[in-house]
Amino acid sequence: MNNKTNKHKQGVIQAIQAFVKQKLANDFSGHDMAHIERVVRLAEQILKHEPKANGFIVIVSAYLHDVIDEKVVADVNQAVMELRDYLILQALTDSEIKMIFDIIENMSYRKNLNQKKTLSLEGQIVQDADRLDALGAIGIARTFYYGGNKHHIMYDPDISPRAALNEDNYKQGNTVINHFYEKLFLLKDKMNTPIAKKLAEQRHHFLVQFVNQFEKEWLGKD
């Protein structure tokens, strides 16, 4: 990549960063700009171990992965059209735009419940980065933050975690603690890249410790 091309792509990334910051300015569901920046940093960390990946596509997709998500936007179709038009204005090629949309439209946990989507290496990296931010201490904080935003109760020992999720019942929600059993505890074994699998181990262990302690304290057994 020559200096002119590299300078242009850096400019595009900076413009997209500002675009996303504006789009997510009013998010209070845990999918805010702070989440985006963490996912970008995690994606950059994974990229160091995946030299064959297109770093530009990874970073742009990491920035954009929530701007057309139904958890964040009221009208997904409108958000998709706006984003496509914006990327064209940024002089991205048709191939680059297709690669980005193939990632951000197919990487979510919900989209992979009925059938696992085939993602490019770049998509696998962004998916891993996003899922890592759902684990560990940050993952715990985001889970309760999102649950409160959606008016989910924290815990009820009489409500069991659902044995199987699909795209439809996933949206219905459950107790906050049940979300750990229904999704978060499963993420460790769904990582794509070797480095993400390694990073997920410690964060997963922290989740398990937290839920065990939470349930003990809830029942007054600590």
3-state secondary structure 174-194: CCHHHHHHHCHHHHHHHCCCH
**Contact call for residues 58 and 43 (beta carbons, < 8 A):** yes
**pTM assigned to the model:** 0.94
Q: What is the pLDDT of residues 205-220, one digit of tens each?
A: 999 999 999 999 999 9
Looking at residue 35, its pLDDT comes to: 96
Closest CA to 40 of 28, 52, 57: 57
Residue 4 has pLDDT above 70, yes or no: no
Q: What is the pLDDT of residues 102-130, one digit of tens each?
A: 999 999 998 998 888 999 999 999 999 99
Q: Give the CATH class of 3-218.
A: mainly alpha
b/e string for 51-86 if b means 16 or more Cβ within 10 A? eebbbbbbbbbbbbbbbbbeebbeeeeebbebbeeb
**Gap between the Cα atoms of 144 and 136, Å rounded:** 13
Closest CA to 124 of 55, 186, 31, 193: 193
Q: Can you give the residue ranges of every domain in the chain?
A: 3-218
Residue 171 has pLDDT above 80, yes or no: no
Looking at residue 136, its pLDDT comes to: 97
Average pLDDT of the chain is 93
Looking at residue 166, its pLDDT comes to: 82
Q: Is 117 left (phi over 0), alpha (psi -120 to 50) or beta?
A: beta
Confidence of residue 176 (pLDDT cuts 50, 70, 90): very high
**Gap between the Cα atoms of 124 and 214, Å rounded:** 32
Looking at residue 1, its pLDDT comes to: 53
Dihedral of the alpha carbons of 199, 187, 37, 50, in degrees to the nearest 10: 50
Looking at residue 144, its pLDDT comes to: 96
Looking at residue 102, its pLDDT comes to: 97
